[in-house]
Structure 1
Amino acid sequence: MDSDDIARRGLVLGSLALMATGCTSAMRRLGEPISTTFAAAPDRRYRRRHVRYQGNELAGTIVIDTSQRYLYAIEDGGWAIRYGIGVGEEGRTLKGEATIGRKAVWPSWTPTANMIRRKPHLQQYASGVTGGPHNPLGASALYLYRGGHDTMFRLHGTNEPWTIGQAVSSGCIRLTNEDIIDLYQRTPLGTTVLVI
């Protein structure tokens, strides 16, 4: 078993533990209990699916349709894997082209200065939250870059799967932890991302 297999197993097992224990996010104060009932699952229409894709983007591109709340990982032959997503609140979205400049498993999270201004209770996390089940970036994150610089926007997991299909984040694109694990494994550094 190589180190990639071990890392994948750890990620899957950690994700299962994450789902079993219930987690928190930036929308809740860390440590508050979260319901783990079936009502917490995303709407069926946002489940991951293999679909026909009509766009002109090259295989390997990620296309994010913020109005429809779907992310497409484009494949050869007019196909894509479609994931349901949660998007940024009105006026808090990145549009246009970016690239995946960094990847992280169980990433740490630090609220930006703008987030703290809008939500002062986040000041308590200004020094950051280490990666793990209580981190709002979930199991994995793909970092969006432009011109070699971090845009501060991410494709990441969420500990609030019921928010998939909604405009709730501070601008990042959120997927269920199961879906971000799948996308993370499919997505190499340098992948082009088009946000429409």
Structure 2
Amino acid sequence: MRLLALLLVGLSVSGCVGTLSTATLEPASEANFKPRDRELLSKVPYAKATIPEPYRRHIVTYHRKESPGSIVVDSDSRFLYYVLPEGKAIRYGITVGEEALAFSGIAKVGRKAEWPTWVPTAAIKERLGPSIPNVVGPGPHNPLGARALYLYTGGKDTLYRIHGTNQPEYIGASVSSGCIRMTNEDVIDLYGRVKENTVVVVLAPKQGDSPTNPQVAFGMPDRFSIQ
């Protein structure tokens, strides 16, 4: 029943940007892995997760107007889109933040990091308790996973990231501390495509896109403008 429900979710939300009939499954590949990736991912402390088919990487038809090379995050659907030319996009399944913790608006990729160090914010430590360490170094235990894209607005760090995970079983759910999590395989793939200053459009909760209301990133109110 859970699998059927997930498939039905995929059918309904995939209509936002690409339908299953126009989606092509992209098999996960290790072609972009570096030797360090292979070494560290061979030591992950978690069991291999089976990602439901709707949340696995697909090439989909894309109706919105963002430029190729942009990223669009639809938290309602648990999808991240990397926009391609000619009306296509790569759709990745993601884990998103609880509504009260989520960022929305337009940002830029201000920094990129491979196997980043995690420094929990004071708010995260207060919420998760005193057992949270001050710093977690790079590696398979790190909750930021294999890659991180740091989002900035107006030249300032939003503290919002797109990153890997050590909990791939939650892809398709809303459980994180506000950041966007991807499988390590998917975030390595995305990282290789994205440059610094890439535009990232994060749709607000309950404001997911639809074919009848195609929002245009640079037509949004000035408060969402990027500098």
Say whether 1:139 aligns with 2:116: no
Say whether 1:22 aligns with 2:44: yes
Q: Deviation string for 1:41-86 (max 9, x for gaps)?
A: 2212100011110101111110000000000000110000000000
SS in 2 for 1:185: helix
Between structures 1 and 2, the one with greater strand share: 1
Matched to 1:129, the amino acid is V
Q: Residue 83 of structure 1 aligns with which residue?
A: 92
CA contact (8 A) 1:15 1:178 kept: no
What is the RMSD of the two structures over their aligned residues, measured on CA atoms?
1.5
Matched ranges for 1:108-127 at <5 A: 108-123=117-132, 125-126=133-134
Counting aligned pairs with the same residue, the percent is: 49
Matched to 1:90, the amino acid is E
Q: Deviation string for 1:97-137 (max 9, x for gaps)?
A: 000000000000011100111111344x12x1111111000
Residue 195 (structure 1) aligned to one of 176, 182, 202: 202
Residue 165 (structure 1) aligned to one of 172, 183, 187: 172
Deviation at 1:9, TM superposition (A): 1.9
Deviation at 1:189, TM superposition (A): 0.4
Name the TM-score, length of structure 1 as normaliser: 0.83
Name the TM-score, length of structure 2 as normaliser: 0.72
Matched to 2:141, the amino acid is H
Matched ranges for 1:1-196 at <5 A: 8-14=33-39, 16-17=41-42, 21-23=43-45, 34=46, 36=47, 40-123=49-132, 125-126=133-134, 128-196=135-203
Unaligned segments of structure 1, at least 5 residues: 1-6, 24-33
Regions of 4+ moved over 6 Å? none
Deviation at 1:89, TM superposition (A): 1.2
CA–CA distance in structure 1, aligned partners of residues 138 and 114 of structure 2? 8
Give aligned pairs, total. Answer: 172
Q: Deviation string for 1:22-43 (max 9, x for gaps)?
A: 33xxxxxxxxxx4x25xx3221
Deviation at 1:12, TM superposition (A): 3.8
Higher CA-based Rg? 2
SS in 2 for 1:133: coil
